[in-house]
Amino acid sequence: MTGSTEQTLRIAHVDDHETVQLGLAVLLAGAEGLELVLSTPTVDAVLERIDEIDLVMLDLRLSDGSTIEHNLARLHERDANVLVFTAADDHEAVRTASKAGVLGIVRKSESREVILDAVRTAATGESVATTEWAAALDADPELPSAGLSPKELEVLALYAAGEKSHTVASRAGLSANTVSEYVRRIRHKYALVGRPAHTKIDLYKRAVEDGILPSPE
């Protein structure tokens, strides 16, 4: 998807409830650097204008009969950044969306600040770690194991928890260069099993998924 050449991030909202559409429109109207360019009940309308859009905010359930898997597949085929914006009351749909590679899952009931922070982060292609996402994937037995060694698990736990490389090195008894190599190998192993971890937030998510780190409270 072609990114915006301006500072303003362009948002499309897919939801079949008019009151929710109006509420988000009001919220985004007062947010600096964000513009709601499309509000629609179907993904079809988004795909017609996908090159104008930096982020798709997608509800889990739509009245056109489409499934979350189908909608996400169509959007990801066009390299869309997708943030699920939902009531999060369908836990199976939340889990499905999480496993399908959305950038985050945000409840409609969250505060204005939380929603806007998530939108700005996801619109630039970065993952948004949320309680809903973590709860959906916490120690999911269906996720393929990356087969990390005990030392790789130790490095991942420290690094993904937010420690700097030099701190990880000190606590794990390694050099900073060796820590960097461990992180590279960890990313590679996750990529091999279809669970890429390009960013530090992605590594945090993988660590939560595998029960290496606890879910956020």
Per-residue pLDDT tens digits for 35-91: 999 999 999 999 999 999 999 999 998 999 899 889 999 998 999 999 999 886 777
Per-residue pLDDT tens digits for 166-178: 999 999 999 999 9
pLDDT surpasses 80 at 143: no
Quote the pLDDT of residue 30.
84
Fold adopted by 9-137: Rossmann fold (3.40.50)
Instruction: For the chain, give the percent of residues with pLDDT over 70.
Output: 89
Quote the pLDDT of residue 197.
87
Strand pairing partners for 86? 107
Quote the pLDDT of residue 59.
94
| Residue 95 to residue 164: CA distance in whole angstroms | 31
Residue 125's pLDDT band, with cuts at 50, 70 and 90, is: confident
**Do residues 130 and 153 lie in contact, with contact meaning Cβ atoms separated by under 8 Å?**
no
- The architecture CATH gives domain 150-209: Orthogonal Bundle (1.10)
Instruction: Say whether 150-209 and 9-137 share the same fold.
Output: no
CB atoms under 10 Å from CB of 139, counted, come to 11
- Burial per residue of 36-66, b for 16 or more beta-carbon CB atoms within 10 angstroms, e otherwise: bbbbbbebeebbeebeebbbbbbbbebeeee
pLDDT surpasses 70 at 135: no
Q: Is 210 helix (H, G, I), strand (E, B) or coil?
A: coil
Q: For 123-132, 139-148, 192-201, which range has the lowest pLDDT when averaged over its residues?
A: 139-148
pLDDT surpasses 90 at 120: yes
Can you tell me the mean pLDDT for 137-159?
Answer: 81
In this predicted model, which residue has the larger pLDDT, 108 or 88? 108
Q: What residue segments make up the domains of the chain, in order of their start?
A: 9-137, 150-209
pLDDT surpasses 90 at 92: no
The structure's pTM equals 0.66
